[in-house]
Amino acid sequence: MKVGFIGLGIMGKPMCKNIVKAGHEVCFYSRHADVVAELEALGAKGKANAAEVASESEVVITMVPNSPQVREVALGENGIVSGGKKGLVVIDMSSIDPVETRSIGAELAKHGIEMIDAPVSGGEPKAIDGTLSVMAGGKEELIEKYRPLLSTMAASVVRCGDLGAGNVAKLANQIVVACNIAAMSEALAFSKKMGSDPSLIYQAIRGGLAGSTVLDAKAPMVLSRNFKPGFRIELHIKDLTNALNAAHAINGYVPLTGQVMEMMQALKADGCGKDDHSAIAKFYEKVSNVTIEK
Active site residue 170: yes
- How far is CA 186 from each of CA 74, 151, 285, 286, rounded to the nearest angstrom? 42, 38, 9, 12
Give φ, ψ of 89 to 5 degrees. Answer: -120, 135
- Catalytic residue selected from 170, 192, 218, 282: 170
For residue 169, the number of C-alpha atoms closer than 13 Å in the C-beta half-sphere is 23
Report which of 70, 78, 132 is spatially closest to residue 107, judged by C-alpha positions. 70
Q: How many Cβ atoms are within 10 Å of 13's Cβ, its own excluded?
A: 22
Amino acid at 172: A
CA angle, 219 then 220 then 223, to 5°: 85
DSSP 192-230: HHTT--HHHHHHHHTTSTT--HHHHHHHHHHHTT----S
Report which of 144, 120, 143 is spatially closest to residue 132, judged by C-alpha positions. 120
List, in order, residues 6 or more apart from 207 with CB less than 8 Å away: none
Residues with a known catalytic role: 170
